[in-house]
């Protein structure tokens, strides 16, 4: 497959990073080893997307609101890993001119982890490069509920009328307000579902699925997904010129 021109690249890539536990089991390792290796995949894919320049947004599904059902020992490890990632990756984030944002509800996340996350967000705010959007304690339905609550509050306050609500109004009240919708959704580990991820924003996203588990996902796989995306014709419900 020929290398696509940068103007054919997706501007916004979203990733459901699946298969950490399965990868670890295949290696005869504990599940937490898969999460540790998954962090390495986050690093290399984030750096490669930033290097490409034409990719403006990278959104990673780090922890879903449903993941809190997992064993407490695994959740504790994930929180420690997240907090350490925020510390360890600051130099890389700054060197690559990346801006960090969080998508999701803050409530259940430990205060010390939030403090490290907020510090990284603040440090990177003045950067001018790619946005790294980390979906943490994120759920697509919860996001829509929060948006509806915010809109309802504005209606009660007389700042908004119900007849004035349109699609843009809803988009403006999502966690991703001001962020263009993903052009490309990548899902690893061969699963064929979107798992409550960006339910509103993925309406016209191209979907690319690989059997590779997330710890195995590398720069070559990323470019394979981008090349496949570049070869597709996006009509957004319309017709082509033929």
- 7 catalytic? Reply is no
Residue 97 assigned ligand-binding role: no
20 in a known ligand binding site = yes
CA-nearest of 97, 52, 44, 85 to 219 is 44
Q: Which two tokens stand for residue 130?
A: 């790619």
Q: Is 193 annotated as a binding residue?
A: yes
**What span, in angstroms and rounded, lies between the C-alpha atoms of 89 and 91?**
6
Q: How far, CA to CA in Å, does 96 sit from each of 21, 49, 52, 80, 144?
A: 29, 10, 11, 24, 32
26 is in an annotated binding site: no
**Cβ-based neighbours of 3, under 8 Å, separated by 6 or more:** 223, 227
Which residues, 6+ apart, have CB-to-CB distance to 177 below 8 Å?
Answer: 171
Q: Which residues of 74-112 are buried (b: 16+ CB within 10 A; e: fewer)?
A: ebebbbebbbebbeebbeebeebebbbbbbbbeeebeee
| Candidate list 18, 96, 133, 137, residue with the active-site label | 18
96: which 2 tokens? 């690559």
Residue 13: which of 128, 185, 218 has the closest Cα?
185
Q: Has 90 been labeled as part of a binding site?
A: no
Of 194, 198, 231, give the one whose Cα is nearest residue 209: 194
Q: Is residue 23 annotated as involved in ligand binding?
A: yes
Q: Is 73 annotated as a binding residue?
A: no
Query: Was 8 annotated as part of a binding site?
Result: no
Q: Is 21 annotated as a binding residue?
A: yes
51 labeled binding residue = no
Known binder of ligand: residue 19? yes
* CA-based max dimension of the chain: 60
Q: Looking at 67, 97, 127, 196, which residue is catalytic?
A: 67
* Residue 22 annotated as binding site: yes
Region of 99 (left: φ > 0; alpha: ψ -120 to 50; beta: rest) is: beta
Is 18 an active-site residue?
Answer: yes
Residues serving a catalytic function are 18, 67
Could you list the residues known to form a binding site, using ranges: 18-23, 31, 35, 64-66, 68, 70, 187, 193-195, 206
Residues annotated within a binding site for Mg(2+):
18, 206
- Annotated binding site for substrate, which residues? 19-23, 31, 35, 64-66, 68, 70, 187, 193-195
């Amino acid at each position: 497959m020929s290398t696509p021109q940068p103007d054919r690249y997706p501007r916004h890539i979203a990733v459901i990073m699946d298969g950490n536990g399965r990868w670890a089991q295949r290696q005869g390792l504990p599940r937490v080893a898969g999460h540790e290796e998954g962090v390495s995949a986050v690093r290399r894919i984030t750096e490669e997307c930033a290097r490409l320049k034409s990719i403006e947004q990278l959104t990673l599904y780090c922890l879903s609101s449903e993941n809190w059902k997992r064993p407490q020992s695994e959740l504790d490890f994930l929180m420690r890993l997240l907090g350490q990632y925020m510390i360890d990756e600051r130099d890389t984030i700054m060197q690559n001119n990346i801006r960090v944002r969080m998508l999701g509800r803050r409530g259940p996340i430990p205060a010390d982890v939030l403090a490290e996350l907020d510090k990284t967000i603040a440090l990177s705010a003045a950067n001018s490069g790619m946005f790294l959007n980390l979906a943490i304690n994120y759920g697509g339905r919860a996001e829509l509920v929060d948006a509806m609550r915010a809109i309802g509050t504005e209606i009660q306050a007389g700042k908004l009328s119900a007849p004035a609500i349109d699609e843009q109004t809803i988009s403006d009240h999502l966690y991703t307000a001001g962020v263009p919708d993903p052009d490309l959704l990548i899902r690893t580990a061969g699963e064929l579902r979107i798992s409550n991820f960006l339910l509103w924003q993925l309406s016209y996203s191209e979907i690319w699925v690989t059997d590779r588990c997330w710890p195995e996902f590398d720069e070559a796989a990323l470019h394979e997904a981008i090349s496949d995306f570049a070869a597709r014709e996006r009509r957004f419900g319309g017709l082509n010129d033929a």
